[in-house]
């Protein structure tokens, strides 16, 4: 069975965006240690799940990076663009990027079926409402929370649809040179 992994940058107080949607508090001057870790994580997947709003910026960014061999993130861009991209949307009906599939059917059923398919693991980066729904339905197996050294005091949370306690088991914690701390948890068997 394939796993569904969540990779997300988050503030110390648990937000993925500030009160006005700002993300200027996120650390982007990653060192080789963090870049290497994320590269290894990306190597373990072949499918990316995205919400409609996240998809536009995400795919546009990585397609630009993948098209510029002089970009320092070129290799990562190549990986992102060759991975299958599943975009969950009720409004977008046709794929507008290469290797993209649009799904407007039941999220829980679709993800559960995909987890039963052969292949590498899957990863979700966002958007927040998609991630929140996946967490709420217990569909995320591994949580890779990249905690940024910032308090934002409110904003957008990915934990808004958790119906009750979901116990997690710590797999790894690691501090990176740039100040980000990784907390890797697995969904614990209750």
Q: What is the CATH number of the domain that holds 97?
A: 3.40.430.10
149 in any annotated domain: yes
15 in any annotated domain: no
CA atoms within 13 A on the CB side of 13: 11
For the stretch 22-49, pLDDT in tens is 999 999 999 999 999 999 999 999 999 9
Contact at 8 Å (CB) between 33 and 180? no
> How far is CA 138 from its chain centroid?
15
174 in any annotated domain: no
77 in any annotated domain: yes
For the stretch 12-22, pLDDT in tens is 999 999 999 89
- pTM of the complete model: 0.92
What tokens appear for 189 in the block? 């068997």
190 in any annotated domain: no
Residue 65: per-residue pLDDT: 78
**Average pLDDT of the chain?**
90
Q: What are phi and psi of 42, to 5 degrees?
A: -65, -35
Indicate the number of domains in the chain: 1
146 in any annotated domain: yes
Q: What is the domain range of residue 65? A: 42-162
Distance CA 115, CA 38 (A): 22
Please list the ranges in the chain whose pLDDT falls under 50: none
103 in any annotated domain: yes
Residue 190: per-residue pLDDT: 57
């Amino acid at each position: 069975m394939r796993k569904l992994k969540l990779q997300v940058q988050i503030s110390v107080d648990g937000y993925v965006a500030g009160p006005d949607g700002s993300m200027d508090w996120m650390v982007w001057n990653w060192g080789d240690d963090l870049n290497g870790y994320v590269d290894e994580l990306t190597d373990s997947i072949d499918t990316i799940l995205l919400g409609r709003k996240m998809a536009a910026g995400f795919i546009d960014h990585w397609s630009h990076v993948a098209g510029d061999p002089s970009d320092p993130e070129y290799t990562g861009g190549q990986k992102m663009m060759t991975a299958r991209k599943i975009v969950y949307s009720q409004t977008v009906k046709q794929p507008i990027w290469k290797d993209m599939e649009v799904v407007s059917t039941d999220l829980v059923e679709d993800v559960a079926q995909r987890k039963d398919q052969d292949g590498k693991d899957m990863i979700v980066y966002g958007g927040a409402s998609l991630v929140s729904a996946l967490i709420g339905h217990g569909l995320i197996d591994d949580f890779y929370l990249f905690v940024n050294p910032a308090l934002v005091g409110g904003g957008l949370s990915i934990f808004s649809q958790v119906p009750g306690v979901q116990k997690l088991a710590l797999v790894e914690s690691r501090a990176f040179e740039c100040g980000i701390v990784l907390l890797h948890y697995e969904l614990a068997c209750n």
